[in-house]
Amino acid sequence: MKPSSAFARAGAAILFALLVTLLLTLFLADKAAAEAPLPVAKMNAYIGCINRLSARAFDSRKRYFSWAARSGPTGRERIIYGTYTIYDTSDCVKNVEKANAMEPHDAALEAAASAYADAASKLEPLLKEADDYYSAEDYKDDRMAKGRALHPRLVAAWDAFATADQKLRDAVEAINDNRALEKLAAIEQSEGKKTRYYVEALMIRAKRLLRAEDMATPDLAAITAALNEYEETIKGAEQASGAGGGPKIGSIFMSNAKSYLVTAKQVMRRIRDHVPYSTGDRMMLNAGSGWMIEGSPQRLLRDYNQLVEAYNRGANI
Protein backbone atom coordinates (compact mmCIF):
# COMPACT_ATOMS: atom_id res chain seq x y z
CA MET A 1 0.00 0.00 0.00
CA LYS A 2 1.24 3.48 -0.89
CA PRO A 3 -0.66 6.06 1.13
CA SER A 4 0.83 8.98 -0.73
CA SER A 5 -0.80 7.92 -3.99
CA ALA A 6 -4.11 7.48 -2.22
CA PHE A 7 -4.02 10.96 -0.74
CA ALA A 8 -3.39 12.31 -4.24
CA ARG A 9 -4.02 15.87 -5.34
CA ALA A 10 -7.78 16.17 -5.01
CA GLY A 11 -7.54 16.33 -1.26
CA ALA A 12 -4.22 18.13 -1.31
CA ALA A 13 -5.80 21.38 -2.47
CA ILE A 14 -8.34 21.30 0.36
CA LEU A 15 -5.67 20.36 2.86
CA PHE A 16 -3.33 23.10 1.70
CA ALA A 17 -6.06 25.75 1.88
CA LEU A 18 -6.72 24.75 5.47
CA LEU A 19 -3.04 24.68 6.31
CA VAL A 20 -2.75 28.13 4.81
CA THR A 21 -5.41 29.42 7.18
CA LEU A 22 -3.51 27.87 10.05
CA LEU A 23 -0.26 29.40 8.80
CA LEU A 24 -1.70 32.90 8.59
CA THR A 25 -3.29 32.50 12.01
CA LEU A 26 0.11 31.66 13.42
CA PHE A 27 1.70 34.62 11.67
CA LEU A 28 -0.87 37.15 12.71
CA ALA A 29 -1.36 35.90 16.25
CA ASP A 30 2.25 36.60 17.09
CA LYS A 31 3.09 40.25 17.84
CA ALA A 32 6.47 40.04 16.15
CA ALA A 33 4.85 38.84 12.94
CA ALA A 34 2.22 41.56 13.17
CA GLU A 35 4.96 44.17 13.42
CA ALA A 36 6.73 42.77 10.32
CA PRO A 37 4.03 42.38 7.65
CA LEU A 38 6.34 41.82 4.69
CA PRO A 39 6.81 38.07 5.32
CA VAL A 40 3.03 37.69 5.42
CA ALA A 41 2.70 39.59 2.15
CA LYS A 42 5.27 37.31 0.53
CA MET A 43 3.47 34.23 1.76
CA ASN A 44 0.11 35.55 0.59
CA ALA A 45 1.44 35.86 -2.94
CA TYR A 46 2.81 32.32 -3.06
CA ILE A 47 -0.18 30.79 -1.31
CA GLY A 48 -2.54 32.69 -3.61
CA CYS A 49 -0.96 31.04 -6.65
CA ILE A 50 -1.35 27.56 -5.19
CA ASN A 51 -4.94 28.09 -4.07
CA ARG A 52 -6.00 29.50 -7.42
CA LEU A 53 -4.14 27.24 -9.85
CA SER A 54 -3.08 23.92 -8.37
CA ALA A 55 -6.40 22.15 -7.88
CA ARG A 56 -7.56 23.03 -11.38
CA ALA A 57 -4.27 21.92 -12.92
CA PHE A 58 -4.42 18.53 -11.23
CA ASP A 59 -8.12 18.17 -12.02
CA SER A 60 -7.31 18.74 -15.68
CA ARG A 61 -4.77 15.91 -15.58
CA LYS A 62 -7.21 13.62 -13.78
CA ARG A 63 -9.94 14.32 -16.33
CA TYR A 64 -7.59 13.68 -19.25
CA PHE A 65 -6.37 10.34 -17.92
CA SER A 66 -9.90 9.27 -17.03
CA TRP A 67 -10.35 8.44 -20.71
CA ALA A 68 -6.87 8.56 -22.32
CA ALA A 69 -4.34 5.79 -21.83
CA ARG A 70 -0.98 6.58 -20.29
CA SER A 71 0.56 5.98 -23.69
CA GLY A 72 -1.75 8.57 -25.22
CA PRO A 73 -5.11 8.77 -27.02
CA THR A 74 -5.80 6.62 -30.06
CA GLY A 75 -9.10 7.96 -31.36
CA ARG A 76 -10.72 4.61 -30.67
CA GLU A 77 -11.79 5.50 -27.11
CA ARG A 78 -15.44 4.88 -26.25
CA ILE A 79 -15.74 8.32 -24.57
CA ILE A 80 -13.44 11.30 -25.12
CA TYR A 81 -13.76 13.97 -22.46
CA GLY A 82 -10.82 16.14 -23.39
CA THR A 83 -9.35 18.14 -20.52
CA TYR A 84 -9.89 21.28 -18.44
CA THR A 85 -8.26 24.65 -18.85
CA ILE A 86 -6.80 26.51 -15.87
CA TYR A 87 -7.36 30.07 -14.73
CA ASP A 88 -5.33 33.00 -16.01
CA THR A 89 -1.80 32.74 -14.67
CA SER A 90 -0.66 36.32 -15.28
CA ASP A 91 -1.64 37.51 -11.79
CA CYS A 92 0.37 34.69 -10.24
CA VAL A 93 3.42 35.60 -12.31
CA LYS A 94 3.15 39.30 -11.38
CA ASN A 95 2.51 38.60 -7.70
CA VAL A 96 5.46 36.23 -7.46
CA GLU A 97 7.75 38.83 -9.04
CA LYS A 98 6.60 41.44 -6.51
CA ALA A 99 6.88 39.03 -3.59
CA ASN A 100 10.38 37.93 -4.59
CA ALA A 101 11.50 41.56 -4.50
CA MET A 102 10.33 41.95 -0.90
CA GLU A 103 12.55 41.59 2.12
CA PRO A 104 13.51 39.51 3.92
CA HIS A 105 14.76 37.36 1.07
CA ASP A 106 14.64 33.57 1.09
CA ALA A 107 16.50 32.22 -1.94
CA ALA A 108 15.01 28.71 -1.82
CA LEU A 109 11.45 29.92 -1.33
CA GLU A 110 11.74 32.57 -4.05
CA ALA A 111 13.26 30.09 -6.51
CA ALA A 112 10.45 27.62 -5.81
CA ALA A 113 7.84 30.33 -6.35
CA SER A 114 9.43 31.43 -9.63
CA ALA A 115 9.57 27.83 -10.86
CA TYR A 116 5.90 27.38 -9.95
CA ALA A 117 4.82 30.53 -11.79
CA ASP A 118 6.88 29.52 -14.83
CA ALA A 119 5.44 25.99 -14.92
CA ALA A 120 1.89 27.30 -14.52
CA SER A 121 2.31 29.91 -17.26
CA LYS A 122 3.57 27.23 -19.67
CA LEU A 123 0.76 24.83 -18.79
CA GLU A 124 -2.01 27.40 -19.34
CA PRO A 125 -1.74 27.86 -23.15
CA LEU A 126 -1.14 24.16 -23.72
CA LEU A 127 -4.33 23.24 -21.88
CA LYS A 128 -6.17 25.90 -23.85
CA GLU A 129 -4.89 24.39 -27.09
CA ALA A 130 -5.93 20.90 -26.00
CA ASP A 131 -9.33 22.08 -24.80
CA ASP A 132 -10.03 23.83 -28.10
CA TYR A 133 -9.07 20.70 -30.02
CA TYR A 134 -11.20 18.32 -28.00
CA SER A 135 -14.17 20.68 -27.54
CA ALA A 136 -14.41 21.14 -31.31
CA GLU A 137 -14.06 17.35 -31.77
CA ASP A 138 -11.33 17.95 -34.33
CA TYR A 139 -10.01 14.47 -33.58
CA LYS A 140 -12.84 13.21 -35.80
CA ASP A 141 -11.25 14.98 -38.74
CA ASP A 142 -7.56 14.23 -38.26
CA ARG A 143 -7.92 10.74 -36.74
CA MET A 144 -6.50 11.99 -33.43
CA ALA A 145 -3.21 13.09 -35.05
CA LYS A 146 -3.03 16.30 -33.05
CA GLY A 147 -4.19 14.51 -29.90
CA ARG A 148 -1.27 12.10 -30.20
CA ALA A 149 1.11 14.99 -30.82
CA LEU A 150 -0.22 16.94 -27.85
CA HIS A 151 0.05 14.00 -25.47
CA PRO A 152 3.80 14.06 -24.67
CA ARG A 153 3.70 17.84 -24.36
CA LEU A 154 0.81 17.66 -21.91
CA VAL A 155 2.47 14.96 -19.83
CA ALA A 156 5.74 16.90 -19.67
CA ALA A 157 3.95 20.12 -18.70
CA TRP A 158 1.90 18.40 -16.00
CA ASP A 159 4.99 16.67 -14.63
CA ALA A 160 6.92 19.94 -14.52
CA PHE A 161 4.02 21.65 -12.81
CA ALA A 162 3.64 18.84 -10.25
CA THR A 163 7.32 19.06 -9.37
CA ALA A 164 7.19 22.85 -9.01
CA ASP A 165 3.99 22.66 -6.99
CA GLN A 166 5.50 20.18 -4.52
CA LYS A 167 8.67 22.24 -4.07
CA LEU A 168 6.70 25.41 -3.35
CA ARG A 169 4.39 23.61 -0.93
CA ASP A 170 7.39 22.13 0.85
CA ALA A 171 9.01 25.56 1.19
CA VAL A 172 5.82 27.10 2.57
CA GLU A 173 5.34 24.16 4.91
CA ALA A 174 8.87 24.55 6.27
CA ILE A 175 8.11 28.15 7.22
CA ASN A 176 4.78 27.09 8.68
CA ASP A 177 6.48 24.43 10.80
CA ASN A 178 9.11 26.82 12.12
CA ARG A 179 6.53 29.42 13.05
CA ALA A 180 4.40 26.83 14.85
CA LEU A 181 7.36 25.59 16.88
CA GLU A 182 8.39 29.14 17.75
CA LYS A 183 4.88 29.91 18.92
CA LEU A 184 4.73 26.74 21.00
CA ALA A 185 8.06 27.54 22.68
CA ALA A 186 6.90 31.09 23.45
CA ILE A 187 3.67 29.82 25.02
CA GLU A 188 5.55 27.30 27.14
CA GLN A 189 7.97 29.96 28.33
CA SER A 190 5.25 32.47 29.22
CA GLU A 191 2.47 30.18 30.46
CA GLY A 192 3.90 26.72 30.95
CA LYS A 193 2.31 23.53 29.62
CA LYS A 194 -1.29 24.53 30.08
CA THR A 195 -4.35 24.67 27.86
CA ARG A 196 -3.02 26.90 25.10
CA TYR A 197 0.21 24.94 24.96
CA TYR A 198 -1.60 21.65 24.41
CA VAL A 199 -3.90 23.01 21.70
CA GLU A 200 -0.91 24.23 19.68
CA ALA A 201 1.03 21.03 20.38
CA LEU A 202 -1.93 18.96 19.17
CA MET A 203 -1.94 20.75 15.82
CA ILE A 204 1.81 20.33 15.35
CA ARG A 205 1.70 16.64 16.21
CA ALA A 206 -1.42 15.99 14.17
CA LYS A 207 0.40 17.25 11.08
CA ARG A 208 3.46 15.19 11.99
CA LEU A 209 1.25 12.11 12.17
CA LEU A 210 -0.37 12.87 8.83
CA ARG A 211 3.04 13.09 7.19
CA ALA A 212 4.23 9.86 8.81
CA GLU A 213 1.29 7.97 7.33
CA ASP A 214 1.52 9.70 3.95
CA MET A 215 4.74 8.12 2.76
CA ALA A 216 5.44 6.21 -0.44
CA THR A 217 7.27 3.66 1.71
CA PRO A 218 5.58 3.66 5.14
CA ASP A 219 7.89 3.46 8.15
CA LEU A 220 5.87 1.62 10.79
CA ALA A 221 8.23 2.63 13.58
CA ALA A 222 7.92 6.31 12.66
CA ILE A 223 4.14 6.00 12.37
CA THR A 224 3.90 4.32 15.77
CA ALA A 225 6.08 7.00 17.38
CA ALA A 226 3.98 9.79 15.86
CA LEU A 227 0.78 8.05 16.97
CA ASN A 228 2.01 7.66 20.54
CA GLU A 229 3.16 11.27 20.69
CA TYR A 230 -0.20 12.51 19.41
CA GLU A 231 -2.18 10.31 21.77
CA GLU A 232 -0.13 11.48 24.76
CA THR A 233 -0.78 15.07 23.73
CA ILE A 234 -4.52 14.43 23.71
CA LYS A 235 -4.26 13.06 27.24
CA GLY A 236 -2.25 16.10 28.31
CA ALA A 237 -4.85 18.40 26.75
CA GLU A 238 -7.67 16.68 28.63
CA GLN A 239 -5.81 16.99 31.93
CA ALA A 240 -4.93 20.65 31.32
CA SER A 241 -8.41 21.69 30.16
CA GLY A 242 -10.01 23.73 32.92
CA ALA A 243 -7.28 22.82 35.42
CA GLY A 244 -6.85 25.35 38.23
CA GLY A 245 -9.82 27.33 36.98
CA GLY A 246 -8.14 27.97 33.65
CA PRO A 247 -9.84 27.92 30.23
CA LYS A 248 -11.41 24.75 28.93
CA ILE A 249 -10.85 23.25 25.52
CA GLY A 250 -14.06 23.02 23.53
CA SER A 251 -15.77 19.66 23.22
CA ILE A 252 -16.02 19.96 19.42
CA PHE A 253 -12.28 20.49 19.08
CA MET A 254 -11.50 17.54 21.36
CA SER A 255 -14.02 15.34 19.55
CA ASN A 256 -12.31 16.08 16.24
CA ALA A 257 -8.90 15.44 17.80
CA LYS A 258 -10.04 12.01 19.01
CA SER A 259 -11.74 11.10 15.73
CA TYR A 260 -8.51 11.85 13.94
CA LEU A 261 -6.63 9.61 16.37
CA VAL A 262 -9.03 6.71 15.75
CA THR A 263 -8.64 7.00 11.98
CA ALA A 264 -4.86 7.31 12.25
CA LYS A 265 -4.80 4.05 14.21
CA GLN A 266 -6.96 2.39 11.55
CA VAL A 267 -4.55 3.51 8.84
CA MET A 268 -1.60 2.24 10.88
CA ARG A 269 -3.24 -1.18 11.35
CA ARG A 270 -3.99 -1.46 7.64
CA ILE A 271 -0.32 -0.78 6.90
CA ARG A 272 0.97 -3.00 9.72
CA ASP A 273 -1.29 -5.95 8.93
CA HIS A 274 -1.07 -5.56 5.12
CA VAL A 275 -4.86 -5.32 4.82
CA PRO A 276 -5.80 -4.95 1.14
CA TYR A 277 -8.71 -2.93 -0.17
CA SER A 278 -11.68 -4.89 -1.48
CA THR A 279 -12.95 -4.41 -5.01
CA GLY A 280 -15.73 -2.24 -3.64
CA ASP A 281 -13.23 -0.22 -1.63
CA ARG A 282 -11.12 0.43 -4.70
CA MET A 283 -14.15 1.58 -6.65
CA MET A 284 -14.99 4.05 -3.88
CA LEU A 285 -11.40 5.25 -3.69
CA ASN A 286 -11.29 5.87 -7.44
CA ALA A 287 -14.65 7.64 -7.30
CA GLY A 288 -13.45 10.05 -4.63
CA SER A 289 -15.51 8.48 -1.84
CA GLY A 290 -12.58 6.94 0.02
CA TRP A 291 -13.40 8.96 3.15
CA MET A 292 -16.18 6.43 3.77
CA ILE A 293 -13.67 3.56 4.12
CA GLU A 294 -12.14 2.80 7.51
CA GLY A 295 -8.37 3.02 7.52
CA SER A 296 -8.17 4.89 4.23
CA PRO A 297 -5.86 7.86 3.68
CA GLN A 298 -8.86 9.82 2.41
CA ARG A 299 -10.68 9.42 5.70
CA LEU A 300 -7.54 10.43 7.58
CA LEU A 301 -7.26 13.53 5.41
CA ARG A 302 -10.91 14.40 5.96
CA ASP A 303 -10.57 14.02 9.74
CA TYR A 304 -7.41 16.11 9.73
CA ASN A 305 -9.16 18.85 7.76
CA GLN A 306 -12.01 18.84 10.27
CA LEU A 307 -9.53 19.18 13.11
CA VAL A 308 -7.90 22.17 11.40
CA GLU A 309 -11.32 23.75 10.88
CA ALA A 310 -12.12 23.27 14.57
CA TYR A 311 -8.80 24.88 15.49
CA ASN A 312 -9.46 27.84 13.19
CA ARG A 313 -12.83 28.39 14.86
CA GLY A 314 -10.90 28.95 18.08
CA ALA A 315 -10.96 25.63 19.94
CA ASN A 316 -13.25 27.45 22.43
CA ILE A 317 -10.46 28.57 24.71
DSSP conformation letters of 142-210? HTTHHHHHHHHHHHHHHHHHHHHHHHHHHHHHHHHHHHHHHHHHHHHHHH-SSHHHHHHHHHHHHHHHH
**DSSP per residue over 214-232, as a string?**
S-SS--HHHHHHHHHHHHH
In this structure, what is the dihedral angle of CA atoms 19, 20, 22, 24, given to the nearest 10 degrees? 160
Q: Is the pLDDT at 25 greater than 90, yes or no?
A: no
- Report d(CA 277, CA 296) in Å as an integer: 9
**Are 303 and 245 within one domain?**
yes
Alpha carbon distances (Å) from 186 to 24, 182, 229, 234: 17, 6, 20, 20
**Are 223 and 304 within one domain?**
yes
Contacts of 224 (CB under 8 A, 6+ apart): 268
Number of domains the chain is built from: 2
Quickly state the pLDDT bin for 216 (edges 50, 70, 90): confident
Domain end, chosen from 177, 207, 235, is at 177
Look at residue 260 and tell me if it is in a domain: yes
Which residue range(s) make up the domain with 61?
A: 7-20+30-177
Look at residue 153 and tell me if it is in a domain: yes
**Are 129 and 254 within one domain?**
no
Look at residue 185 and tell me if it is in a domain: no
Contacts of 89 (CB under 8 A, 6+ apart): 53, 117, 120, 121, 123, 124
Report the mean per-residue pLDDT for the chain.
88
**Are 226 and 306 within one domain?**
yes
**Are 154 and 224 within one domain?**
no
Quickly state the pLDDT bin for 215 (edges 50, 70, 90): confident
Domain end, chosen from 177, 200, 234, is at 177
- Give the mean model confidence (pLDDT) for residues 285-297: 86
**Are 154 and 207 within one domain?**
no
Domain end, chosen from 177, 201, 234, is at 177
**Are 284 and 313 within one domain?**
yes
**Are 168 and 305 within one domain?**
no
pLDDT-above-90 percentage for the chain = 73
Look at residue 186 and tell me if it is in a domain: no
Quickly state the pLDDT bin for 29 (edges 50, 70, 90): very low
- Report d(CA 104, CA 315) in Å as an integer: 32
**Are 294 and 149 within one domain?**
no
Please tell me the predicted confidence (pLDDT) of residue 202: 96
Please tell me the predicted confidence (pLDDT) of residue 71: 96
**Are 173 and 196 within one domain?**
no
- Report d(CA 70, CA 280) in Å as an integer: 24
**Are 290 and 154 within one domain?**
no
- Among 155-159, 163-167, 183-187, 240-244, the minimum mean pLDDT is found in 240-244
Q: Are 34 and 28 in contact (CB under 8 A)?
A: yes
Look at residue 2 and tell me if it is in a domain: no
- Give the mean model confidence (pLDDT) for residues 109-136: 98
- 219-251: per-residue pLDDT in tens? 999 999 999 999 999 999 999 998 887 889 999
**Are 229 and 309 within one domain?**
yes
- Helices 90-101 & 38-49, crossing angle to 10 degrees? 160
pTM over 0.75: no
